[in-house]
Structure 1
Amino acid sequence: MSISRHATAHWEGDFKSGKGQLSTPQSGLMDKVGYGFNSRFGDEKGTNPEELIAAAHAGCFTMALSAKLTEAGHPPTRIDTRAEVDLSMEGGPSLSQIRLQVEAQVPGIDDAKFQSIAKDAEKNCPVSKALSAVPISMEATLRS
């Protein structure tokens, strides 16, 4: 079985003064959301590719962690993940680092087991695999 999702991008103008729009027609979550040079490299309102990658990674990792914890007999009460994606300008723009920070409440599990499962989820969620060319670090905290 294969699942396909898509998004669209529209751009008008040159790199620095041009403007773009991103849409996710299947879900309707984004409809012509603005993006451009200043929302990517400055503080103008709008989204940017790095923010969208961070959202995708946080969501994918969190679902993978929930699945792996549940498979291990420890369904989580809650999981909160923050993903930070760094864009380096040295030697040309490139994604230089991704940091995952996760905090979870998981009844009946010890920290060592939780850390092991979290590391497995970090390595094996589909987005982590797709981004394997970028260094990924993770900090996992188990809350009672």
Structure 2
Amino acid sequence: MVTLSHSIDIKAPAKKIWDVLWNSDSYSEWTQFFSEGSQYRSDWEVDGRTYFMDKSGRNGMVSTIDSLRIPYEVVFKHLGLLQDGVEDTKSREVMEWSGAQEKYFLTEFEGFTKLVGEVQTSEMHEEHMRGAFEKGFEVVKQIAEKG
């Protein structure tokens, strides 16, 4: 596992950036670089369930929220896979990376907000994830800084 971190300064308040990150329409827009048509469903509860899914809504990742401080922090812990609508949190393949975290932090300063994303991923996915965060956060910035 490698931990990747990407940050960007955005001229907007944390609340506006939070809304861009987690509103279903803009979420699909900025996460297109991870997987076209990405969507998520969450109960927004610590220890609850969050699903990060492909455009079919039947495949993706099963996660929980470890830490939540709206609009400044959310830490997801990935528990397993969603495959054809069925949760897998016990297979050998899943157990190799289960517990990996994905974190988002927003810190306001002097009219800007620093958005930091950190993710634990396999070396095999490192290059893809690095590029997706870079392009995705640029989209977040463009949306948040509009009018």
Say whether the fold is shared (TM-score over 0.5). no
**TM tier relative to shorter chain:** 0.3 to 0.5
What's the TM-score, normalizing by structure 1? Answer: 0.36
What's the TM-score, normalizing by structure 2? Answer: 0.35
Q: Name the larger-Rg structure.
A: 1
Greater RCO, CA 8 A, separation 6+: 2
Larger strand proportion, structure 1 or 2?
A: 2
